[in-house]
Protein backbone atom coordinates (compact mmCIF):
# COMPACT_ATOMS: atom_id res chain seq x y z
CA UNK A 1 0.00 0.00 0.00
CA UNK A 2 2.84 2.37 0.84
CA UNK A 3 4.45 1.77 -2.56
CA UNK A 4 1.23 2.73 -4.32
CA UNK A 5 1.02 6.04 -2.46
CA UNK A 6 4.69 6.74 -3.17
CA UNK A 7 4.18 6.16 -6.89
CA UNK A 8 1.05 8.32 -6.91
CA UNK A 9 2.95 11.18 -5.26
CA UNK A 10 5.83 10.82 -7.73
CA UNK A 11 3.54 10.93 -10.76
CA UNK A 12 1.50 13.78 -9.33
CA UNK A 13 4.72 15.75 -8.91
CA UNK A 14 5.70 14.98 -12.51
CA UNK A 15 2.29 16.20 -13.67
CA UNK A 16 2.73 19.45 -11.76
CA UNK A 17 6.17 20.00 -13.29
CA UNK A 18 4.84 19.25 -16.77
CA UNK A 19 1.96 21.67 -16.23
CA UNK A 20 4.37 24.42 -15.20
CA UNK A 21 6.60 23.96 -18.25
CA UNK A 22 3.61 23.74 -20.59
CA UNK A 23 2.12 26.93 -19.14
CA UNK A 24 5.47 28.66 -19.62
CA UNK A 25 5.50 27.56 -23.28
CA UNK A 26 1.91 28.72 -23.78
CA UNK A 27 2.66 32.17 -22.32
CA UNK A 28 5.87 32.44 -24.37
CA UNK A 29 4.12 31.70 -27.68
CA UNK A 30 1.22 33.99 -26.78
CA UNK A 31 3.59 36.85 -26.05
CA UNK A 32 5.46 36.24 -29.30
CA UNK A 33 2.17 36.28 -31.16
CA UNK A 34 1.16 39.56 -29.49
CA UNK A 35 4.51 41.19 -30.27
CA UNK A 36 4.65 40.13 -33.91
CA UNK A 37 3.81 42.70 -36.58
CA UNK A 38 1.79 40.47 -38.85
CA UNK A 39 -0.24 37.33 -38.56
CA UNK A 40 1.95 34.24 -38.48
CA UNK A 41 -0.09 31.07 -38.94
CA UNK A 42 2.58 28.71 -37.59
CA UNK A 43 3.09 30.81 -34.47
CA UNK A 44 -0.68 30.93 -33.93
CA UNK A 45 -0.86 27.12 -34.22
CA UNK A 46 1.99 26.69 -31.74
CA UNK A 47 0.23 28.95 -29.24
CA UNK A 48 -3.04 27.06 -29.63
CA UNK A 49 -1.29 23.72 -29.29
CA UNK A 50 0.48 24.80 -26.09
CA UNK A 51 -2.80 26.14 -24.69
CA UNK A 52 -4.59 22.89 -25.49
CA UNK A 53 -1.85 20.83 -23.85
CA UNK A 54 -1.99 22.97 -20.71
CA UNK A 55 -5.76 22.69 -20.34
CA UNK A 56 -5.63 18.94 -20.97
CA UNK A 57 -3.11 18.58 -18.15
CA UNK A 58 -5.20 20.91 -16.00
CA UNK A 59 -8.22 18.63 -16.42
CA UNK A 60 -6.11 15.61 -15.49
CA UNK A 61 -4.91 17.36 -12.34
CA UNK A 62 -8.50 18.18 -11.50
CA UNK A 63 -9.48 14.51 -11.88
CA UNK A 64 -6.65 13.49 -9.58
CA UNK A 65 -7.64 16.25 -7.11
CA UNK A 66 -4.16 17.76 -7.11
CA UNK A 67 -3.70 21.22 -5.65
CA UNK A 68 -0.70 23.32 -6.58
CA UNK A 69 0.56 25.47 -3.75
pTM beyond cutoff 0.85: no
Provide the phi-psi class of 64: left if phi over 0, else alpha when psi is between -120 and 50, else beta: alpha
Give residue 45's pLDDT band: very low, low, confident or very high (50, 70, 90). Answer: very high
The stretch 36-60 carries a mean pLDDT of 92
Do 54 and 24 contact (CB within 8 A), yes or no?
Answer: no
- DSSP state for residue 65 in the 8-state scheme: T
pLDDT at 1: 61
Nearest to 26 by CA among 57, 68, 67, 63: 57
Amino acid sequence: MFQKEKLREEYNQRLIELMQSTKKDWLYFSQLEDMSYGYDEELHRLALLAKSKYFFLFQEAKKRKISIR
